[in-house]
Homo-oligomer: A and B are copies of this chain.
Amino acid sequence: MMEEILKQLQNGTLSVAEAKDQLAPYENLGFAKVDHHRKKRQGFPEIIYGEGKSAEQITAIMEAIKAKGNDILVTRMNQEKAEAVLKQHPELIYNDVAQILYWKQQTETVQKTNGYIAIVCAGTSDLRVAEEAAVTAEVLGSKVHRIYDVGVAGIHRLFDNLEEIQQATVSVVVAGMEGALPSVVGGLVSHPVIAVPTSVGYGANFGGISALLSMLNSCASGISVVNIDNGFGGAYNAVVIDRLANKE
């Protein structure tokens, strides 16, 4: 790509300013530089991480993204900030379990197969992270099946839902405490497994380190791991894979 831009510059097709703009396009809001190039570069527009940003900052970034005709996805968005934003932008939708605020245009991607992402979680306490993953995947354009509360302490519940998991294109497996579920799932499927450790637990759980280490040390192959409680990251990886396999 760089080579082409350089050639166009040499040919006079592009000015120096245009060349610089094509290499580095973004919008400077002062406190933030909105990355309008991301959809071209990565396949999805910039996604807003809501934690640590004020409702005003989020609104400003969001409007800059929307003005370019892109979809909106804000994660880690608490009720209070969501409501502040919704007053000005009632067209947005808020999911309070997933803590996600979003706005989505019509049909972007064409499904060429029946593939879907399986979001699997171990216990009811992992729900918030599992829903962050599920809603993220749906907003980014994938089909999702939810298989919840199938942790290894009652493993027959997993086996009863095994075929639905096995037929998915990719699984996102969410678990806290000892984080054993991805190892068991990983040994039973032939597709990629994205493991998401959660901070659920207490004592020697250390805010999710126990589950994180379990997943990194899994004896099963085909498992990769994202950060603790990072349901969004788990889903994003799954969606990228789902696109490779199932979209036009």
Point out residues on A near B: beta carbons under 8 Å.
Answer: 1-3, 6-7, 9-10, 12, 16, 19-20, 23-26, 31-33, 35, 37-38, 41-44, 47, 49, 51-53, 57, 122-125, 127, 148-157, 159-160, 162-163, 166, 169-170, 177-180, 183-184, 186-192, 194, 197, 199-230, 232-234, 236-237, 240-241, 244-245
Contacts and interface: CB of A to CB of B under 8 A. Distances in A.
A97 to B, nearest CB: 10
A187 B149 contact: no
A95 to B, nearest CB: 15
A216 B204 CA distance: 7
Contacts of A125: 49, 51-53
B202 A222 contact: no
Ranked nearest first, the 5 interchain pairs of A and B with the lowest CB-CB distance are A203-B228, A180-B180, A224-B224, A24-B156, A210-B213
Nearest to A25: B156
Given A7-B16, A213-B209, A219-B152, A227 B204 contact: yes
B35 A157 contact: yes
B178 A218 contact: yes
A11 B63 CA distance: 40
Contacts of A127: 31
A149 B32 contact: yes
A237 B192 contact: yes
Given A221-B47, A228-B203, A20 B152 contact: no
B202 A227 contact: yes
